Amino acid sequence: MGKSLKELKAMAMVMIVVLQLSSESWRVAEAQVRAMFVFGDSLVDNGNNNMLMSLAKSNYYPYGIDLRGSSHHRFSNGKNFVDYLGDFMGIASPPAFADPTTTGSRIVGGVNYASAGGGILDETGRHYGQRHSLSQQVINFQSTMSQLRRMMSPNNFTQHMSRSIGILVFGSNDYINNYLLPLMYSSSYSYTPQTYANLLLNHYTRQIQALYSLGLRKFYIAGIGPLGCTPSQLITVGSGRCVDNVNRILGTYNEGLKHLVTMLNNGSHRGAMFVYGNTYRTTGDVLNSPATYGFNVVNRSCCGIGMTRGVTNCLPFVPPCFNRNQYVFWDGFNPTQAMNAILARRAYSGTTSDSYPINIQQMVSFFNVV
């Protein structure tokens, strides 16, 4: 029996709604960037240190316990900051540079150069053994750029890089694994907090300029979170309260980094954009009002040993806490997957207090400008 006009109109309306939803889903899934290049430390390392002679590795259980499959390549129970950013931008988290299969077509979508223990200064983290400092990661990036230039025409390479983004997460180790270890490093004797911050920022500036000269155009540069509130620092005072003098030291660096971003944006960097990530504020918001964000444990990590479980990294094959989503910290320094999701969301779509002068979502909307 034929359908009435009313029924046909109703079916047509349903089809229109389905098509609209399908179209919207496609737009959400569509990649907002062509490639993501990641530089940093354990906060974003996805396997580089597992292929180095280093004490800072995450290639064993319980690291990655909440990731699908059996690979353990992140210093977290699951996804890290970059994994979530990739989800938001519709692009896969890039492969580790040290992986021998990271070549050819695998580098087109970006590469991760991050190395646990690495810092802005070459000496930082040396007591862990091998690690890739910022300068080495820039050298590794240069190698990738040489490969891409051979694979693309000059115009295609320029277009590709103008629509790519660089994520830089440095500085924490320069304090935790350098300045705040006077028995291992002389930095705290040689520099005041102000002169040490200036030293870091001068090194950082030169390497950022090098990345720009090699082709990178869009930069998200994360500040340092409140290191004095990490389990590795809490254990030094035994009170469960943040180490205020450590956090005060970081203020000079973070303010300087934000000022550097302003200078770079006002400089002669054609087609470039620089964003400062206020990691300190985001983490501080969570620590001050943990229940608002779904957490109830902020003063000890999910795995490790000691009063705050912050003495070491996760012990091999020792089960971590059960209620992992309720913990801010995974090990003595690194955040849980749940915390990484908040950090990434605020970086991607937060206010100017989270990402300055604009957030990542706004920055990628300018990718059509070379």
pLDDT of residue 13: 36
Per-residue pLDDT tens for 96-140? Answer: 999 999 999 999 999 999 999 999 999 999 999 999 999 999 999
- Residue 134: enclosing H or E segment and its boundaries? helix 134-151
Strand partners, 273: 218
Query: Distance between CA atoms of 338 and 325, rounded to whole angstroms?
Result: 5
pLDDT of residue 311: 77
- For residues 242 and 228, the answer to whether their CB atoms sit within 8 Å is yes
- Angle (CA) 85 197 345, round 5°: 15
pLDDT of residue 267: 86
Provide the angle, in degrees to the nearest 10, between the axes of the packed helices 337-349 and 81-89.
50
Low-confidence spans in the chain with pLDDT less than 70: 1-30, 69-72, 238-239, 367-370
- The structure tokens 């580098």 sit at 107
Query: Distance between CA atoms of 133 and 262, rounded to whole angstroms?
Result: 25
Classified as helix, coil or strand, 161 is helix
- Rg of the chain on CA atoms, in Å: 22
- The structure tokens 């990490």 sit at 230
Classified as helix, coil or strand, 151 is helix
Three-state SS for 335-359 is: ECHHHHHHHHHHHHHCCCCCEECCC
Domains assigned to the chain: 33-364 (3.40.50.1110)
Polymer length of the chain: 370
pLDDT of residue 240: 72
pLDDT of residue 12: 39
- The structure tokens 């540079």 sit at 97
- The structure tokens 């005041």 sit at 192
